[in-house]
Amino acid sequence: MTVTAHLLTPDTQAILLLTGSLGQVRGRDVQPLSASEYHQVAQILHRHQLRPADLLEGSGLSCLRDAEPLQFDSDRIARLLSRGAALGLIIETWTNRGLWVISRSDPQYPQRLRLRLGKSAPPILYGVGNQKLLDTGGLAIVGSREIDDAAVAFTRTLATRCARDAVQVVSGGARGVDSEAMMTALEAGGTAIGVLAESLVKAAVAGKYRSALRAGQITLITAYDPEAGFSVGNAMGRNKQIYALSDYALVVSASLEQGGTWSGAVENLAQQWVPLFVRATQPMLPGNQRLIERGGTAFTDLILASGTSIRLWLEQQIESHLEPITNKQLQSNDEPDQQTKPNNKESDLFLVIWPYLEEALQIERTDRELAAHFAIELTQVRAWLQRAIEDRMVKKLSKPVRYVAVHRTAQATMLPLFP
């Protein structure tokens, strides 16, 4: 059987084989690895300086089998990797519908997810639309499915102002606040990211998104099977992705201590991914009031009525939240739990330095060459390199030891869909 070649990196091919359902029926076929199971595999690969693509070769799979025991049947990995024919068919189907697939090992994978969610970052993202929007950030606007006229008016006004002030809207695409925010922003000429909990395949051909997709105004993504229907678990799981892709978040309406909006907001307050703002209008919703009491910042109608730039207002507010957000211990998606980032200013500075380091590492360099290039201490360069290696942003080469940016070496190539 001949399988059409598609634009997949070798790493993405391997990760998709391990974690994707590929249209197979749950309960009848070999079960894909869960996120936690894949993380076990990724830890072992990382410790042995292997990449997911190495599993497509016999030597990589043998190394994995010889490593410390996994908490599940290792033969399952071989069976999952043997699904090349199924992968070829389903990728061709998705491609014909305009879908694309990226993995945590791809340079296109959003850095916000990688840095904020660490090992919880989805191994695979399925999407349609403008990939460049994934690293744009913006304001997450979230809320209940059932909302009154006042909440609708607030949401539409806020989303319109976001579009005017070039603040991207990030939401979940569900009925109610999510859909109102996204569609209003698009109609006003803005951009949006929709993190879906159900059927990306259906959303990709929905008439309401058609013009925005053609104009590059929207990206729709999901971490779940693109053809999967709605489930409460998927809806709850995608909440953290909405927050992690944003720069700040605003809750329009939340039920008190129940529902996805409440749980997502509380998790964000605990994890401090982004500053949380909460609509504070009278009469105050009990859920909104409690979120403010737990650390959310009140956002009133007066802010919208004042004519102040939403972007400027948010940036002014974020200064008071900067310390707890940037000092969070960030974990790489593929490293052991105990390998956490230092909770100090040096960790923050890395995010500022990284663009310059990445530019310097477009060619292979030693650590001493980098120290000389930046005129700084060798120990500081080595600390930054270690951080970049742990986050899979830099690759360490040997004989002799030197370093190069992964973005340069991990370009997608046209490959057959099974070895």
pLDDT of residue 130: 95
Phi (first) and psi of residue 341, to 5 degrees: -80, 150
- From 40, 81, 37, 39, select the one nearest 58 (Cα to Cα): 81
Residues in CB range of 129: below 8 A, 6 or more apart = 209, 212, 213, 216, 218, 219, 220
Identical fold at 129-326 and 345-409?
no
User: In the predicted model, what is the mean pLDDT of residues 205-222?
Assistant: 94
Calpha distance 396→398 (Å, rounded): 7
pLDDT of residue 329: 34
User: In the predicted model, what is the mean pLDDT of residues 211-233?
Assistant: 89
Q: Minimum mean pLDDT among 38-47, 104-113, 370-379, 397-406: which range? A: 370-379
Which class does domain 345-409 fall in? mainly alpha
Residues in CB range of 96: below 8 A, 6 or more apart = none
Cβ atoms of residues 403 and 365 within 8 Å: yes
Q: Minimum mean pLDDT among 69-73, 83-87, 160-164: which range? A: 69-73
User: Is residue 42 over pLDDT 90?
Assistant: no
pLDDT of residue 76: 86
C-alpha dihedral over 206, 110, 328, 320, to 10 degrees?
-70
What pLDDT band is residue 127 in, cutting at 50, 70 and 90?
very high
Calpha distance 189→252 (Å, rounded): 22
Sole residue written with tokens 């737990």: 294
Fold of 129-326: Rossmann fold (3.40.50)
User: Is residue 264 over pLDDT 60?
Assistant: yes
| Domain extents in the chain | 6-96, 129-326, 345-409
Q: Number of C-alpha atoms within 13 angstroms, CB side, residue 301?
A: 10
Q: Is the dihedral of CA 227, 231, 236, 242 positive or negative?
A: positive
pLDDT of residue 213: 95
Cβ atoms of residues 149 and 257 within 8 Å: no
Sole residue written with tokens 């249209």: 23
Sole residue written with tokens 């994890």: 271
284-304 pLDDT, tens digit per residue, is 999 999 999 999 999 988 888
Q: Minimum mean pLDDT among 179-188, 272-281, 324-333, 390-399: which range? A: 324-333
Cβ atoms of residues 241 and 195 within 8 Å: yes
59-82 pLDDT, tens digit per residue, is 777 777 776 666 667 788 889 999
Task: Specify the pTM.
Answer: 0.73
Q: What are the distances in angstroms from CA 133 to CA 97, 107, 245, 344?
A: 20, 14, 10, 30
Q: Is the dihedral of CA 386, 247, 409, 50 positive or negative?
A: positive
User: In the predicted model, what is the mean pLDDT of residues 108-114?
Assistant: 90
What pLDDT band is residue 47 in, cutting at 50, 70 and 90?
confident
N-terminal to C-terminal alpha carbon distance within the chain? 13
